[in-house]
A and B are shown apart, each in its own frame.
Chain A
Amino acid sequence: MGYKIEETAGFAIVHLEGDVDLSRSPTARQAILDCLQERQHVLVDLTAVTYIDSSGVASLVEGFQVSRRMSLDFALIGVSDAAMSVLQLARLDQVFPIFASLDARLAQTDPRT
């Protein structure tokens, strides 16, 4: 089963949900990479994520790096405390652009031009 992808305000928002673990992270990775392949700016929404393991985080890392190489925008939104502590462990909280929500992202100056 794939994840819901919503296109709003020039972003493709990938809504991850439930446990993003060894069995589900390949689907998440594919969804993110597919959006980037279509040259879309990507926001990954972690609001509905109950648990994310390092394979999930690794998929986000790969997506972020691909987006940078393609000069596309990439950010995480709705990062829960649990997900944040997983990111912090490898100091990735200092790497990803992280926003509370889509609105918070849009409130920022738009780097997409």
Chain B
Amino acid sequence: MPAINQQSEPVIEIRELITYYGERKILDGINLAVESGEIMVVMGGSGSGKSTLLRHLLSLNRPAAGNIRLFGKAVNKLSSRALHQMRQRIGVSFQGGALFNSLNVEENVAFPLREHTRLDDNTIRIMARMKLEVVNLAGFEKLMPSQLSGGMIKRAALARAIVMDPKLLFFDEPSAGLDPVVSADLDELILRLRDAMGVTIVVVTHELESAFRIADRITVLDKGKILITGTTQEVKESDNPRVQNLLNRRTEDIPVNADEYLQRLTDDLAGL
């Protein structure tokens, strides 16, 4: 088991977070704490607000109300310099990889080091290649992002996200668009990373299988509110019907009205 330290301060603490998109409320009073060294999976369907929550955790958006603390510091009160420093302790793997298209794989992975450190060029390149070894992309250093498959892009993006040895790692939809085998490999990799680096990981996903495989705890988000936060067991046993709906992928069966249905299919057609 990883060293989850319940006594120390949470790495992430969200209090009463409220956000709007125009007039529409996207997140409505989110409270969540992520402990050091744990893998927290934020789960929800499309439109649940999970992507928005991630953008707030990454300080890409500003909340309408409430606050977010990372490493014990209120993010919205940080000076730009302090935020800059905090960001060097955070790694992010975006859904589409977000690799820089003008750079090859190795340059992509080395990019944060080149920007933020004054390490020797040899050290930087060895570090980048080590991370590519970790994600099983050895030998692909010189390829451009456009030459990579979906799974390889995710791996390269992960290598870039961990190149600075972050203390906190965000992962947006690790399995989206991947076949089950590749996706399972990636999940395995996430678990290994946490065990070896002791990094706190937040995964945002809509994939149940992946979520249950990697999560220490799961937060289920629906229509901008948290339905439940708990261990995988607690979530599975939840008697909240909306949680169960999400788990069982039930779309409510609407009874068919024959007349209306036929009308919908043939509406506006010539000669009918």
Contact = CB atoms under 8 A, between A and B. Distances in A.
B48 to A, nearest CB: 33
B131 interface: yes
Interface size bucket, A side? 10 to 19
B58 interface: no
Where chain A touches its partner, the secondary structure class is: helix
Contacts, number: 51
Interface residues of B, number: 21
Contacts of B195: 85
A40 interface: no
Interface in B113-148: 117-120, 122-124, 126-127, 130-131, 133-134
A26 B119 contact: yes
Interface in A26-67: 26, 29, 53-55, 57-59, 61-62
A30 B118 CA distance: 14
A29 B133 contact: no
A22 interface: yes
Contact of B117 (A22, A88, A89, A90): A22
B195 to A, nearest CB: 7
14 contacts: A22-B119, A29-B123, A53-B165, A54-B163, A55-B117, A55-B119, A55-B127, A58-B123, A61-B130, A62-B122, A86-B197, A89-B192, A89-B196, A90-B133
